[in-house]
Amino acid sequence: MFRHAGENGARIFDAVQVKSIVFEDETQVPEGEPNLAPGRPVAATYLIKETKETGQIAFDYVIDASGRIGILSTKYMKNRRYNQGLKNVANWGYWKGCGKYAPGTTRENSPFFEALFKIDESGWAWFIPLHDGTNSVGIVINQKLATQKKQELGLDSAAFYHESLKLAPSVLALIGEGKFTTNVKSASDYSYSASSYAFPNARIVGDAGAFIDPYFSSGVHLALTSGLSAATTICASIRGDCDEATAADWHSSKFADAYTRFLLVVLSAYKQIRHQEDPVLSDFDEDNFDRAFAFFRPIIQGTADAHNNKLSQDELNKTLEFCAYAFEPVTTSDEDREKAMDAAMKEAADGTGYHPDLSPEQLKAVKHIRARKMMRTEDTINMNSFGTDAIAGYVPNVVKGALGLKKQVAVVNANAVPMPPATVDLRLWLLLYDDDENVDLLHS
């Protein structure tokens, strides 16, 4: 992507490190307090790695894509926060001569993921085939548990990696007679986010702002979503679609919403992997987290207090339990899946509708389908829904040559079906209005 930007006219500077940002009208806050508006950024000082030459470059806008360093968030805004519930360590290496997942099927040689068997905390393994016939095989385990286990067993990282693979029997079967060809590599994956991802003339994107977990390659999704949001809002400000403060706030909200939606997906997956401990979410009581769960409350509760805008731990647990069905393995026949799909379109949203003619496996499939629909997992991990989300009365105008923001158009029609919230699958929303009496199926 870096090279592609250069090919399309951007001035690119390789092996050049940004050391600091220069601000006009710089603001000061008490020691230890976040500074969400540190001033107007106007220049950056840099260091050329090869020559050790330093210099300064001026700009109108700065987009912080500095990865986990997150220079704006950590050095100036000081608003990064960590989620202890997703503090994991990954160990991985590369194997040759392994087997293939699902040979002879349409999913042959697809990546495979497996929850670690009989482990005390969250843990999973991956088996990912690469283009040259090599396979990336790794494990992800809660860091505290990994440290404890290594000390108890007296193992170094390499030995712990191979020992942990024994907890993933399906991955071991795929490895088969394969040969380990590299050293064990390790990385700590600390989940973090921030209270804001922008201020006037500055945007934060990708890992510089937030990181969730390796699960589902969420970092790629957040990087692309926040990158497009930064471009959209800067163009909107330059074109005069809105003022710069509004554009910055829009980006911050968009990034926060994307982070929270994907966090829901990852937490729901971990809820399925581990049942004995709830994730630590004390850091996530801010407005964007509540917005993301606003639609899930009536689904889980049947009825909800619309005036209570804060999400309780009990509500969160119920929501994650419901959404965890999206990640349960379902091994039904084509006929069973078709029957389950038909039932899912008719029943109560929590999957508990009365269906005496469905087998337990079919009912499991119903809950799986319903959970995936509620979570919009497909929209969460692709870009198709980017232009549909309204924030502060603006929606993206994703048109070549006219990228920016535009006012949301409200259609006033008493008989019209209202537009759904951003977190709702349109097909599901239409189910709420599928008969003359306008019966709310979510409360059936």
The residues facing 185 across adjacent strands are 92
* Single-letter code of the amino acid located at 294: A
**Spatial CA neighbour of 196 closest among 268, 235, 147, 245:** 245
- 242, exposed or middle or buried, with CB in 10 Å at 0-12, 13-18, 19+? buried
Task: Determine contact, residues 198/111, Cβ cutoff 8 Å.
Answer: no
Q: Which domains does the chain have, with CATH numbers?
A: 14-79 (no CATH), 83-189 (3.30.9.100), 278-444 (no CATH)
- 74, exposed or middle or buried, with CB in 10 Å at 0-12, 13-18, 19+? middle
Label residue 245 left, alpha or beta by phi (over 0 means left) and psi (-120 to 50 means alpha).
alpha
Mean pLDDT, residues 216-235 taken together: 90
Cα separations (Å) of 165 from 92, 137, 148, 157?
10, 9, 17, 12
Which pLDDT score is estimated for 257? 84
* Single-letter code of the amino acid located at 126: W
Question: Is 50 exceeded by the pLDDT of residue 438?
Answer: no
The string of pLDDT tens digits covering residues 66-125 is 999 999 999 999 999 988 778 888 999 999 999 999 999 888 999 998 888 765 555 889
* Single-letter code of the amino acid located at 234: I
**What distance in Å separates the CA atoms of residue 258 and residue 221, rounded to the nearest whole number?**
9
Question: Is 50 exceeded by the pLDDT of residue 286?
Answer: no
**What distance in Å separates the CA atoms of residue 272 and residue 435, rounded to the nearest whole number?**
35
**What distance in Å separates the CA atoms of residue 206 and residue 192, rounded to the nearest whole number?**
12
The string of pLDDT tens digits covering residues 265-277 is 777 667 666 653 4
Which pLDDT score is estimated for 84? 75
Task: Determine contact, residues 404/232, Cβ cutoff 8 Å.
Answer: yes
**What distance in Å separates the CA atoms of residue 432 and residue 425, rounded to the nearest whole number?**
11
Mean pLDDT, residues 50-74 taken together: 97
Which pLDDT score is estimated for 262? 79
Which pLDDT score is estimated for 394? 95
Average pLDDT across the chain, whole number: 77
Mean pLDDT, residues 390-405 taken together: 93
How large a percentage of the chain has pLDDT more than 90? Answer: 48
